[in-house]
Every structure is written in structure tokens, then in C-alpha cells.
Amino acid sequence: MDAGLRLRCDCTRWRLPRGSTLERVNGINARALAPAALRRLLALPVRSVAFAPPPSAATLTVHGAFAGTQVGKLHVALPVPVVDIACGGHHLLLRSAAGHVFACGRGECGRLGLGDTADRAVPTLISSLATSVVIGIACGREHSVVVCKDGAAFAFGWGEGGRLGLGIDADNVLRPTRVAAPDDVYLVGAGRESTLLVGRAGGIYLCGVQHLSSAAHDDTTRLCLVPTLMPWTGPSDHALVAAIKAGDAHYVLLTTTGDVYTWGYGGAGALAPGVVVTRNEPTRVAGLPKIIKVAAGPWHTVALGRAATWVWGDTGSRPCTVAAAVDVACSRTTTYFVDPARAVVAYPPCDGELLPPSTPLLGAGGDYVAWISRLDDAKHQR
């Protein structure tokens, strides 16, 4: 993010570059709305106004089984400031402040987007995206998807089942390939065998394996080889979709007014507390206060409120009891919470010495956890 004035609302960050217009970080132009008009637009209070300096130099730390090997604790210095991390089963993507994408991990199936299937031990620039400004990244188990500021979405990796949205039940796709979405895209998500796209006109599109509920069977599947519009009319308050996440077979979205919607496979209880049926369309999760962030594990869902955290679905152990948290990331077996003091809490508990004393940017996938920290902070973690 460039230096300038930054405003933070409940679910959305906005910036005001010096002498420029107000625009949303994910690329939606607010057409020079003043802060007062912004509050009316989103019906949300502005939480803070602060000068945002350029991101500092940082390091990537990975702990766990990554790229097919038990890496222990790996530190890699990053050549550029990083503002986002997305984690797949054995690979990850990093998005720089300038909108460039770097990939590392296992290269099988082309999931790194580097034109081959070779592994990369250090983050490597995806050169075919170098002329684009990427605003969103997501990783499935064996594929990746990115979205650019101009609304174009690109997918790469293992394409079985149509998960890349390229119109065919593809094999390996080694480089980022344009997805023919019916609308300009501004958010992306990736599940085990599917990809989600959110269009600027409000439509939600799914590519890959879709889980369906029918009168005869609670769960059947069909393949969506191209982006397929989900049957959703949108929230009644005309809010925007602020975030979208995917588990192995269920999907979670968060609106700018703090409501949570889920759909997909429901047998593990990941759609809502007490719900074990499969749902074909996004359905609001009742009984929650205003939520500020959501995450999806393989078979469970996490929702962060201002004073409490909600977890439902199959977490692989006893129910999770975490009070307040400000960030969350889910691996295959562990959910990592960042508490208000910026300390990382793992559930189920693991060796605290393996986790940073505080974390600026957290991600998890497969059997590993990864975080971005300043170089000075990383020295104290060794």
C-alpha cells in the first residue's frame, strides 16, 4: 500500500493517497467519496484514521510439513514488502505492496504458476503476472487463483473437475490463465476442488465441484467447468461481499455489515451450529453479532467478533474455546488465533516456542503455519 491516509471500517480498509481520491483497497473505486459519505454508504463507523507508511522489509517463516517435507522452522528474507499471504496444501502465494505475486513450495501440477512443475524453496516472482496489479490471491490444495485490479481473474495448477473455470476438465495448467468470468471480479477463494469468484455486480460464481442437496439425496455433486452463478439474491441491506473463504467442500462469505453466509457440504456441521444438511445457496448464519473476519478450515468455520470468537463444525477434537481474537488462520489440523495482544494461540495447543511472540501477517494450510514479520522480529524467533 502506498503512503497516504488510511481509514479502517469494520470489514473494509480504505485509503486516501496524497492529493488523490478515496478508493477501496481491493480495487473498487469509491469515486472520491468523503469520509462522511463513506460512513453513509457502508452504514459503519470509521474506526480509525491514520497515516500509513510504506510496509517495511520482512521475512517469511514457515513451520511444519511444507512442500512434502518436514521443514521444521524455515526463515526466508523477502525482497519486497508483502501485504497478503495465501496457503495451499503444500504451496503458498505472497502478494506484494505493488501487486506482484510470488510463489513457493511444491510445484507439482503447476500450482506455482511458474511454467513448470519444479519445487521452489524461496518465493519466486510469477513473471507472467508482472505487468498486472494483483489485489487478491487464494490457494486450494493443488491450484491457485488471483484477481487483478482491472477485474481479470487467473487460475493455474491442477484443473480436474473444472476447478480452474477454463471450460474443460483440465490436467496441469502451468501458467496463470484468464478465467472467462461473466463479470469483473474483485474477490477470489479456493477450496479443495473448487474456485469462487465474486463479481463487482454482486454475483458469486463457482468453478469445479459443487455439492448439492436434492429431494432424493442430501449430498450430490456436479461439475461446473466454467464460472457458474450461485442462486443468491444478496443481502437484504444491499451490503457488499467483503471476504470469501472455502474449506474442503463448504464456503463462507462475510458482508460489509458483518453478516456471515455459508453454503456447500453440510455433513460436518461447517455451515452453522447444529446444521448438518447440504445447502445449495448462501444462507445467513443466524444468532451472530457483527463479525469482522471469517476463516474456513477443511471441515469447520471460524467467525471473529469484537468480543468473542465462534467456531462450528468438525475441528478434529473437543470444541474450541477462544475468547476474543483479531486474526485467524486454519491448517488441516490446527486453528491459529491472534489475540488482542497480538500473541498467537494454537488450537489444539502446540509448542508455543514454535510460534512468534507477536505476528503481523498469518497464514496456514496443509500441515504448516506461515507468518510474515519484520526482519528485526525474525531474529528473535530463531
Residue 196 scores a pLDDT above 80: yes
Residue 382 scores a pLDDT above 80: no
Rounded to the nearest integer, the mean pLDDT of the chain is: 81
Our CA angle for 302, 305, 308, nearest 5°, is: 85
More confident residue, 377 or 355: 355
Residue 242 scores a pLDDT above 80: yes
CATH 2.130.10.30 residue spans of the chain: 62-73+80-374
Residue 354's pLDDT band, with cuts at 50, 70 and 90, is low
Among the ranges given (297-301, 351-355, 363-367), the one the predictor scored with the smallest mean pLDDT: 351-355
The CA distance from 4 to 19, in Å, is 9
Query: Residue 149: what pLDDT?
Result: 97
Is CATH 1.20.1070.10 the classification given to domain 62-73+80-374?
no
The CA distance from 326 to 302, in Å, is 12
Residue 381 scores a pLDDT above 80: no
Residue 71's pLDDT band, with cuts at 50, 70 and 90, is low
Query: Residue 26: what pLDDT?
Result: 39
Residue 11 scores a pLDDT above 70: no
More confident residue, 42 or 264: 264
The CA distance from 272 to 18, in Å, is 43
Residue 322's pLDDT band, with cuts at 50, 70 and 90, is low
Query: Residue 207: what pLDDT?
Result: 95
Residue 287's pLDDT band, with cuts at 50, 70 and 90, is very high
Residue 40 scores a pLDDT above 50: no
Residue 86 scores a pLDDT above 90: yes
Query: Residue 147: what pLDDT?
Result: 98
In percent, how much of the chain has pLDDT > 90? 54
If you count them, how many residues does the chain have? 382
What are the pLDDT digits (tens) for 199-218? Answer: 999 999 999 988 876 555 55
Other beta carbons within 10 angstroms of residue 313's beta carbon come to: 25
**Cell numbers found for residue 299:** 471441515
**Cell numbers found for residue 1:** 500500500
Query: Residue 346: what pLDDT?
Result: 85
Query: Residue 58: what pLDDT?
Result: 81
Query: Residue 247: what pLDDT?
Result: 95
Query: Residue 135: what pLDDT?
Result: 98
More confident residue, 23 or 304: 304
More confident residue, 262 or 59: 262
